[in-house]
Amino acid sequence: MSPTGNFKYFLQNLGKVLKFLYTIALHIFICGDININYLAENVQKRQVNNLLLMYNVKYTVNIPTRISNKSASTIDNFFMDISRSKDFSVTPFPNDMSDHDAQILVFKLPIEIHQDKTKLIRKIHKHTISDFIYILNNETCDSVVDATDVNLMFNSFLNTYLRIFYSWFPL
């Protein structure tokens, strides 16, 4: 907004833009020289904050961005949904090219862990199936038949079956 601009016009149009753009999935990020001093409490600051809070957007710069011999103000700012991006920092960057300091906004983004797309499979086809059946037919069932407890019988059978299965159908 221009220092001599129409604040009411600015606020109304900012509201229209936010209403038009806003969706839950959208990350709103606004930056610029808005000529509202965020180092001091004032009516314009409260009105902009109230409008932005309707979209869960807050100001982030709390350091002077314009420093002169007589005053310091924060009229340049970053506005964003800080509930989605809580890990960030803002630091001044004096650039000697303007009467405003630049700001550096650094986000620490979460590292996405991508799952390995590799799949382990067993090669099962008619040749390995026939070999598997042949080996099973020739396996003795003494440990299964000799057991007196039904649980021991089952476990013995399952161990024999899985040993043969894993050897004929490796991953």
Q: Where are the domains of the chain?
A: 7-107, 126-168
Q: What is the DSSP letter of 119?
A: -
Q: Regarding the domain with residue range 7-107, which homologous superfamily does it belong to in the CATH classification? A: Endonuclease/exonuclease/phosphatase (3.60.10.10)
Two tokens, residue 142: 């003494």
Q: What is the pLDDT of residues 3-57, one digit of tens each?
A: 668 899 999 999 999 988 888 788 888 988 888 999 999 999 999 999 998 888 9
pTM, to two decimals: 0.59
Scored b (16 or more CB within 10 A) or e, 134-164 reads eeeeeeeeeebeeeeeeeebeebbeebeeeb
Lowest mean per-residue pLDDT among 42-46, 69-73, 80-84, 115-119: 115-119
- For the cut 80, the answer to whether the pLDDT of residue 128 exceeds it is yes
| CA 32/CA 49 separation, integer angstroms | 15
Alpha helices for the chain (secondary structure H)? 7-21, 43-53, 126-137, 142-145, 150-168
